[in-house]
Amino acid sequence: MTPQLLLIKRLATESTQFAKRVDPISSGIAISLLQDAVELYVWTTLKEKGLAVKDQSSFTANLEALEKAGFAMPQVAKLLELNKARVNFKHYGNLPAPGEAVKFETYAIDCLTQAARDHFGIDFEQLSLVDLVAFPDVKAHLKAAETHIAADELADAAKEASIARGLLFGKLDKYLPHVDHNLKDTDRILNSIEGVQGVNPFHYLTDYLDGVRQLVMLSLARVPLETAILFRNVLPPATQFEAGNWRVRSQRAVHDKAHLTEVVRALVDISSRIQELVR
């Protein structure tokens, strides 16, 4: 059941990314994802409670089946309003107002939180999407980052998230080998030639190739530009040595809790894409 609840939370969380965009189509997509999350929860509850319904039974019929069995969903009227908004968008092409998604996000999250507690004794808010990460090393550092965020130990959270990012993108090394920084030594040879002192083209070339490699990795993992900028602004540089240990150079005196929470969410999202590439 827990994997299903994690998927439900993932759908609800993804809807937030679209709800933030102030345009009707993004609002409609957010509403559709929220309804998918609620429908999946209803279907999961039916199965977990051993209630037989037809495979093609409607959302409203499934809600009624739960109610008759003593497992009524909370705030049914709001869920029906959400379902109607999804039908209007998905089936009839009626675009919702940009702010509608935010309202329905509140409806859906409140409902799922109360329902999970009532039906299964589970705190929906405490479910960690980090559990969806397939790489044990990455997961361990993201879990540590979450723990530090919860304790307001934000500098430590940033360090753990930075290591997690390094490990995650390191999974792509077999496709994109590291640039050999020994190339820079060629400049010493050039500078030993009379008349070309002070010219360092291989330093430039090495840094340029490093930048290209980073851009290709971001492209392979389908990382949005705003997420790449978030990583650059929030996460300190992390370097892994041959022995496997890490050095993280903290450069910020103050860290933002919301930004770090978003970094962890983004890394969970990226991990699923990288998993597809390396499996």
Over the chain (279 residues), the average pLDDT of each successive run of 10 is: 88 89 91 96 94 86 93 94 94 88 93 95 92 95 96 94 95 86 80 73 87 91 92 91 87 84 94 89
Q: List the beta strands (DSSP E) in the chain.
A: 238-240, 246-248
Q: What are phi and psi of 247, to 5 degrees?
A: -120, 125
Residue type, position 144, single letter: A
Which pLDDT tens digit goes with each residue over 3-27?
Answer: 899 999 999 998 988 988 878 999 9
Look up the pTM and report it. 0.78
Is 166 in contact with 238 (CB distance < 8 Å)?
yes
Question: Which residues, in sequence order, are CB contacts of 173 under 8 Å at separation 6+?
Answer: none
Per-residue pLDDT, 204:
85
Closest by CA position to 48, among listed 64, 75, 80, 71: 71
Q: What is the rounded CA–CA span in Å between residue 65 and residue 49?
A: 11
Alpha carbons within 13 angstroms on the beta-carbon side of residue 37 total 32
The CATH architecture that domain 2-127 belongs to is Up-down Bundle (1.20)
Q: Report the phi/psi class of residue 75: left, alpha or beta, with left for phi > 0 and alpha for psi in -120 to 50.
A: left
Is 260 in contact with 145 (CB distance < 8 Å)?
yes
Helix axes 100-120, 76-90, angle to 10 degrees: 130
Residue type, position 177, single letter: P
Per-residue pLDDT, 253:
67
Residue owning tokens 């039974």? 57
Which tokens go with 117? 């507690």
Per-residue pLDDT, 1:
63
The burial class, CB within 10 Å (0-12 / 13-18 / 19+), for 112 is buried
Per-residue pLDDT, 196:
67
Closest by CA position to 13, among listed 31, 27, 28, 34: 34
Range(s) within the chain of domains with CATH label 1.20.120 = 2-127
